[in-house]
Structure 1
Amino acid sequence: MEGLMGFVRSPATTPIVRRSLFYASKSKKNSWLRAKLNAENDPLLQAATSAASLRFQEMHRPEPLFVDPYAGCLVHPDVQMDLKECTHQYCLVTKFIDDKLLSTVNHIDGLKQIVLLTDGMDTRPYRLNWPTSTVIFDISSERIFKKSAEKLQGVGAKVPRNCLFLHVPLESSDIQHSLYAKGFNGNQPSIWAIQGLPVMTLANFKEILLVASSLAMSGCLFLGELPAWLAETEIGTKPSTEKWTNKLFMSNGFRVDLVGYDEVAKSLGKEESPGEYKNILFVAEQLQFSDDQMETWRRELQRVEEEGDEEGFEEL
């Protein structure tokens, strides 16, 4: 593990402080409300548990898309099994993201950085076969993550050997600074995936894009799904979703492609569940340099200019 940490370097520049993506009020009233949250009235916990339940049910299908051996410890013992023939879109997306992450990371030499924006119960760090020298950052609600971490530890869940798993609280006042503090390196490749992260407003997602745009190297991928209602907050019409998404991502240096859930189902030989699934599945590629790459270029240019000045002085 010490050898792996040797790959992780401090940022080249000091990050700009930004407000939390998931602001938690410091008032006594809201503190009391948070203290009263439990499994019955905590919406974040309920959403994360529901997702884990879908993974648990998928694992027990005759021909599952994936196997999540740890989902069982995250769900209620009396979870109702629904093994109908059609596959829930959430499971299709889970498989899609799994495959995309592994196929991409296995083509990266040296240090590999995975940034997962999750609901706090994502088991990918444990259940996927990550290659050596992979550092996984999980950005999620600290409250939910701690609950799930205790349960996962209780069943012996561990990340693959020579890999590192680090948590970054979603409530952090500055996500970018927190990632840097954990060892994220903007001069090394990274892959970003979002599934389950509680995005409350369009402004929240724009901040996420800004962080990814600042930290991800040119050519890095950002994939996953976001709530479809984000597009409707600005345009109000579904036919413009693709145009809206392109504008949003391009304004942050990403070229984006939307992926149809029916396309994913067909490629996997499955039939998706009927009914509207109100999310947008996307795969985006970073087109611009990260902040660290820009700083590296600036320093190199400065060095060349200084050497040129010295040579000119010697000629005189």
Structure 2
Amino acid sequence: MECLSRFGNAPAIATVSNVRFKFKTTKTKRSGLWLKAKVNDECDPLLQSAINAASLRFQETHRPEPLFVDPYAGCFVPPDVQMDLKKHSHHYCLATKFIDDKLLRTVNHIDGVKQVVLLTDGMDTRPYRLNWPTSTIIFDISPERVFKNSAEKLEGVGAKIPRSCVFLHVPLESSKILQNLCAKGFNGNQPSIWAIQGLPVMTLASFEEILFIISSLAMNGCLFVGELPAWLTETEIGNKSTTKKWMDKLFMSNGFRVDMSSYNEVSSKLGKELTPGPYKNILFVAEQLRYSDDQMETWRGELQRVEEAGDEEGFEEL
């Protein structure tokens, strides 16, 4: 709580920007379209966007009846931030609560090792602030420079990963994210849950790459939850039927069944009022319908073993 006390009486209103940033990118086959920009902290749009999101979590934490408590968000917030504690909840904070609940409900029903993959802006405090069960392995995929900045600040305020859990980072800039996840211990024969919030998705192609990675690694029945920028749909967000059709096609082509969640319906269930005005993101939950690459490899190995055993029995009879 030390990082909260620093800014307890601070005064400015922070907002999350929906601006799309353009970066020079490098494309490789099935290895992604990832940012390669070199900027300093003062003009780094990714860092500033992550700080804006942390500011919203910081303000939500200080409301009389907060959706969640983030005891570490304050260590990212400038000392002159101004508090806006009106009764309305920001859509981003509502989505944060929605994703938190889905993550914890899911991992608490997984036996043995629990794998969580967070696709984030680099300042996601979920690995530290959520009550993860024993034997949870958390993978964070985010911009390297933002993550390093965040890790230093979190270490400075004494943030700790829950005991008996593991936290591993994979740089978003890597051209081999899938391979890096596996090298760090991700097991496609074990259940997992994936969440995306704040990840700088620059193009539709880069999000399709994300879906490909998840589809390759996640077991049948695993969940992918989070929020996406609405501009990805290339449709008017107000036209729900068109957006839903686009989402269904995109996710199903990668092996997922997807459901869109209404921010208004979620806020109503939680007894909260949303901040007036548009919010250009889509809240969703998707289920993996395919088998992971590891599951398929295990199945092929088992099939080969059975065939070889059958051949041996046949020779014995002869």
Q: TM-score, normalised by structure 1?
A: 0.89
Task: Look up the match of 2:135.
Answer: 133
Task: Look up the match of 1:37.
Answer: 40
Contact 1:224–1:282 (CA<8 Å) still a contact in 2? yes
Higher relative contact order (CA 8 A, sep 6+): 1
- Over 3 Å counting, the alpha-carbon distance change for 1:17 and 1:183 in structure 2 is farther
Contact 2:31–2:209 (CA<8 Å) still a contact in 1? no
Task: Look up the match of 2:30.
Answer: 18
Task: Look up the match of 1:200.
Answer: 202
Provide the aligned C-alpha RMSD in A: 1.7
Task: Look up the match of 1:190.
Answer: 192
Q: Which sections of structure 1, spanning at least 5 residues, go unmatched? A: 1-15, 25-29
1:189-218 deviation line (CA, Å, top 9, x unaligned): 000000000000000100000000000000
Task: Look up the match of 1:100.
Answer: 102
Report the Cα distance in structure 2 between the residues aligned to 1:18 and 1:203, rounded to whole angstroms: 10
Report the Cα distance in structure 2 between the residues aligned to 1:313 and 1:199, rounded to whole angstroms: 57
Report the Cα distance in structure 1 between the residues aligned to 2:59 and 2:144, rounded to whole angstroms: 26
Relative to structure 2, which stretch is displaced further, 168-177 or 231-240? 231-240
Match of 1:122 among 118, 124, 127: 124
Q: Once the 2 structures are TM-superposed, how far is the Cα of residue 37 of structure 1 from its aligned partner?
A: 1.8
Report the Cα distance in structure 2 between the residues aligned to 1:311 and 1:17, rounded to whole angstroms: 44
Secondary structure of the equivalent of 2:89?
coil
Q: Once the 2 structures are TM-superposed, how far is the Cα of residue 159 of structure 1 from its aligned partner?
A: 0.7
Q: Once the 2 structures are TM-superposed, how far is the Cα of residue 55 of structure 1 from its aligned partner?
A: 0.2
Match of 1:57 among 51, 59, 68: 59
Contact 2:76–2:153 (CA<8 Å) still a contact in 1? yes
Q: Once the 2 structures are TM-superposed, how far is the Cα of residue 38 of structure 1 from its aligned partner?
A: 2.0
Contact 1:17–1:174 (CA<8 Å) still a contact in 2? no
Secondary structure of the equivalent of 2:137?
strand
| 1:282 correspondence with 2:284 | yes
Report the Cα distance in structure 1 between the residues aligned to 2:56 and 2:97, rounded to whole angstroms: 12
Q: In the alignment, residue 281 of structure 2 is paired with which amino acid?
A: N
Contact 2:216–2:292 (CA<8 Å) still a contact in 1? yes
Q: Once the 2 structures are TM-superposed, how far is the Cα of residue 162 of structure 1 from its aligned partner?
A: 0.3
Q: In the alignment, residue 30 of structure 2 is paired with which amino acid?
A: R
Report the Cα distance in structure 2 between the residues aligned to 1:236 and 1:105, rounded to whole angstroms: 34
| 1:230 correspondence with 2:232 | yes
Q: Once the 2 structures are TM-superposed, how far is the Cα of residue 77 of structure 1 from its aligned partner?
A: 1.1
- Over 3 Å counting, the alpha-carbon distance change for 1:139 and 1:302 in structure 2 is same
Task: Look up the match of 2:222.
Answer: 220
Q: In the alignment, residue 19 of structure 1 is paired with which amino acid?
A: S
Tell me how many residue pairs correspond in the alignment: 291
- Over 3 Å counting, the alpha-carbon distance change for 1:234 and 1:22 in structure 2 is farther
Q: In the alignment, residue 297 of structure 1 is paired with which amino acid?
A: W
Q: Once the 2 structures are TM-superposed, how far is the Cα of residue 18 of structure 1 from its aligned partner?
A: 3.2
Q: In the alignment, residue 76 of structure 2 is paired with which amino acid?
A: L
Task: Look up the match of 1:8.
Answer: none
Contact 2:127–2:161 (CA<8 Å) still a contact in 1? yes
Q: Once the 2 structures are TM-superposed, how far is the Cα of residue 174 of structure 1 from its aligned partner?
A: 1.1
1:96-124 deviation line (CA, Å, top 9, x unaligned): 00001001100000000000000000000
Secondary structure of the equivalent of 1:166?
strand
Moved >2 Å (runs of 4+): 16-21, 233-239
Q: Which sections of structure 2, spanning at least 5 residues, go unmatched? A: 1-27
Task: Look up the match of 2:6.
Answer: none
Identity %: 76
Q: Once the 2 structures are TM-superposed, how far is the Cα of residue 283 of structure 1 from its aligned partner?
A: 0.2
1:32-54 deviation line (CA, Å, top 9, x unaligned): xx2x5223x11101110000000
